[in-house]
Chains A and B, each alone.
Chain A
Amino acid sequence: MITIKELKKSFNGLEVLRGVNLSIPEGKVTFIMGQSGTGKSVLLKHIVGLLKPDSGEIWFENKDITKLSEKELQKIRRKIGFLFQEGALFDSMTVKENVMFPLKEHFKMPKSEMEKTAEELLSAVDLLSAKDKYPSELSGGMKKRAALARTLALRPQVVLFDEPTTGLDPILQVSILELIKNLKEKYNLTCVIVSHDLNLAFKFADYIAFLHQGVIIEVGTPGEVKTSTNEFVKKFIESALV
């Protein structure tokens, strides 16, 4: 569904991505794992065109995203949702207004229908009771769920999650990932999740890719990854399962 070829990116002379190659299969949950600061979020932001690479290609629907103009990217972005680490909710709007915002911008529908759709999405993420609250009144987990509802409002085919469980307690981490898995089934989504929590990846991923020193060093199902012979992957797994 998404194919990344030889993607390279440097910041102030520091090479972050040094030739990433990765295929993201349709309708599956793909985890991108790696140590902190290895460029996982940078890779995710390239997929949605928030960053331009120094070189390389990202193919989605027979189009190379890296070559598209900002106007052409807007069409792609309606199909690829992005969940920011901190949610990036508009703090001047309530939760419901946040979810209604993309609907107002892109769909011509009566206000009552917009409200109904927003409430359905908030129900799907179990946040209907907080619909009139402002983002500053929400906990970290609630913010992520509200942001997820807003992301789903545009009915994307792909959703990219930037560390959706970071900063949450273990119970909330599992509940967020269960929610993602359920929504994936319900809305037939392709999910890409950036994380460094291997236990959660083993539980929820269809595929796991390891990003290390700017390249993907291993891709496979959780079972395949567990038996990897790559030294870094073996060390990562041993450290995570201690």
Chain B
Amino acid sequence: MNLFSLLGRAFLKILSDCGGIFLFFLKSFIYSFSPPYRIKLLIKHMEFIGVKSWLVVILTSLFSGMVTAYQVNIALAKVGSQSILGGVVALTLTRELGPVLTAVVVIARAGSAISAELGSMRITEQIDALKIMAINPIQYLMSPRLWAAIIVLPLLTAISDFVGIAGGYVVGTFLLHIDPGLLTARMVDMVELKDIMSGIVKSIFFGAFLVTVCGYKGYYASGGAEGVGRATTEAVVISTVGILVSDYILTTLFF
């Protein structure tokens, strides 16, 4: 097989996956408006994706905020602008780090689990069993998860922003000895509502994206236990890379 053939196959696979993922999202979204409305499942998945992720999100954001403050301070010290440290850290977190880190944490903790669970259901014919019982499997398995992620990711991102900024504040005041008043004043001066909202809007997109990709890979898994493992790995890789790429695109659209 020559190089062009390999590249062509890879390109077709990517195109097919993109189309499949988009259609899967549309089905999950549209079916959510047809009864029965699965409120209990929605709450269950919100708990799984959100409540069980908050501690990891807090830990990740806290240390990211702290290390950002530390590194940014080194750069700012070179041009004598340490006074704007608070603003720079807050902007970095609300615009980029908050939503992206939260999404990556949720992919690692919940996205991989969704992919593995649906993959396991696929290979043990549980998804076919749902069909046989006249239940729409996408409406049952995906629609509540989609809305759970859309609702929960912005909340987790807001927590991440707050904790990350707090981490930066602690490092700025206690370790780098920057005046706390100046630190917070620059934060208030430099961060606008638009900065916070852009991160929140990104997180809504990331939530829908990661749950669709992870669900899609699991739902169409094949090839036994090995196939489920492969689907889970692909789900994590595609959704993580997809979030970083789409973050860049969304940033250029917002600013």
Interface residues of A (CB under 8 A from B): 48, 50, 70, 74-75, 77-78, 81-82, 84, 86, 88-91, 101-102, 105-106, 150-151, 154
Contact = CB atoms under 8 A, between A and B. Distances in A.
Contacts of B135: 74, 102, 105
Contacts of A81: 132
Contacts of B36: 105
B126 A78 contact: no
Contacts of B133: 77, 101-102, 105-106, 150, 154
5 contacts: A50-B132, A86-B125, A90-B129, A105-B135, A106-B134
Contact of A78 (B128, B129, B134): B134
A74 B126 CA distance: 16
Contact of A84 (B120, B128, B136): B128
B143 to A, nearest CB: 14
Nearest to B135: A105
B251 interface: no
Contact of A77 (B120, B124, B126, B134): B134
A74 to B, nearest CB: 4
Across the A-B interface, the 9 shortest Cβ-Cβ residue pairs: A88-B129, A88-B125, A74-B134, A77-B134, A82-B132, A102-B133, A78-B134, A84-B125, A88-B126
Contacts of A78: 134
A65 to B, nearest CB: 13
A105 B133 CA distance: 9
A154 B125 contact: no
Contacts of B126: 88-91
- Of A74, A88, A101, A154, most buried by chain B (CB within 10 Å of CB) is A88
Report the interface size class on chain B.
10 to 19
A75 B124 CA distance: 24
Contacts of B136: 70, 74
A27 B124 CA distance: 30
Given A89-B126, A154-B133, 9 more contacts: A50-B132, A74-B134, A77-B131, A77-B133, A84-B129, A88-B126, A102-B133, A105-B36, A150-B133
A216 B134 CA distance: 29
B117 to A, nearest CB: 9
Contacts of A101: 133
B67 to A, nearest CB: 39
B131 A50 contact: yes
Contacts of A150: 133
A88 B128 contact: yes
A106 B130 CA distance: 12
B209 to A, nearest CB: 25
Nearest to B129: A88
Nearest to A135: B124
A171 to B, nearest CB: 26
B192 to A, nearest CB: 46
B160 to A, nearest CB: 30
A86 B124 CA distance: 8
A86 B128 CA distance: 12
B134 A75 contact: yes
Contacts of A84: 125, 128-129
Interface in B113-155: 120, 124-126, 128-129, 131-136
A78 B129 CA distance: 12
B135 to A, nearest CB: 6
- Of B126, B134, B136, most buried by chain A (CB within 10 Å of CB) is B134
- Of B120, B133, B136, most buried by chain A (CB within 10 Å of CB) is B133
A77 B132 CA distance: 6
Given A77-B134, A105-B135, A154-B133, A50 B124 contact: no
B120 to A, nearest CB: 8
A234 B160 CA distance: 73
B134 A50 contact: no
Contact of B124 (A82, A91, A102): A91
A78 B133 CA distance: 6
Contacts of A91: 120, 124, 126
